Amino acid sequence: MEIVRVAGWVFEKRDLGGIIFILLRDSTGIIQVTWSRKRGDKEIGRKMKKLKINDVIEVRGEVKKEEQAPNGVEIIPHTLRVLNEAEHPLPLDPTGKIDAGLETRLNLRPLDLINPKRNAIFRIKSEVLRLTREFLRDRGFLEVITPKIIATATEGGAELFPVPYFEVTAFLAQSPQLYKEELTIPFERVFEIGTYFRAEPFNTNRHLNEFVSIDIEAAFHTYEDVMKVAEELIVHVYKRLNEGMEEELKLLNLDLRIPQTPFPRVKYDEIMEKLRGIGVKIESGEDIKMEHLESLKDERTEGYYFIIDWPSKVKTFYTKDKEDREGYTNSFDLMYRELEIGSGGERIHKYNDLIKKMRKMGLSIDNFRHHLVFYKCGMPPHAGWGIGLDRLMMSILGFKNIRETVLYPRDRFRLVP
Ligand code: ATP
Ligand code: MN
Residue-wise pLDDT tens digits, 239-263: 999 999 999 999 999 999 999 999 9
Query: What is the rounded distance in angstroms from the CA atom of residue 13 to the CA atom of residue 240?
Result: 37
CA of 313 to the centre of ligand 2 (A): 13
Which ligand 1 atom is the nearest neighbour of the CA of 213? Answer: 16
What is the DSSP code (8-state) at residue 362? T
Return the pLDDT at 105.
97
Nearest CA to ligand 1 atom 4: 207
Angle between helix axes 223-244 and 389-397 (nearest 10 degrees) is 50
Which ligand 1 atom is the nearest neighbour of the CA of 342? Answer: 18
Nearest CA to ligand 1 atom 7: 158
Query: What is the rounded distance in angstroms from the CA atom of residue 334 to the CA atom of residue 285?
Result: 18
Pairing of strands 73-84, 29-36: parallel
Give residue-wise pLDDT tens across range 37-63. 999 999 999 999 999 999 999 999 999
Considering just the CA atoms, what is the radius of gyration of the chain in Å? 27
Mutate to test the pocket of ligand 1, among 211, 310, 390 (most ligand atoms within 8 A of CB): 211
Query: What is the rounded distance in angstroms from the CA atom of residue 38 to the CA atom of residue 207?
Result: 59
Spatial neighbors of 61 by CB under 8 A, at least 6 apart, are 3, 4, 33, 75, 76, 77, 78, 79
Which ligand 1 atom is the nearest neighbour of the CA of 340? Answer: 18
Nearest CA to ligand 1 atom 2: 340
Q: In the chain, what are the domain boundaries? A: 3-84, 116-405
Nearest CA to ligand 1 atom 1: 340
Return the pLDDT at 128.
98
| pLDDT less than 70: residues of the chain | 153-158
Give residue-wise pLDDT tens across range 13-35. 999 999 999 999 999 999 999 99
Of the ligands numbered here, which is closest to the C-alpha atom of 388?
A: 1
CA of 99 to the centre of ligand 2 (A): 35
Spatial neighbors of 324 by CB under 8 A, at least 6 apart, are none
Return the pLDDT at 410.
98
- Judge whether 3-84 and 116-405 match in fold: no
Return the pLDDT at 409.
98
Which ligand 1 atom is the nearest neighbour of the CA of 287? Answer: 2
pTM, 2 dp: 0.96
| CATH number for region 116-405 | 3.30.930.10
| The CATH number fitting domain 3-84, selected from 3.30.70.1150, 3.40.50.300, 3.40.50.150, 2.40.50.140 | 2.40.50.140
CA distances from 277 to 84, 168, 264, 311, 337 (A): 65, 52, 20, 20, 19
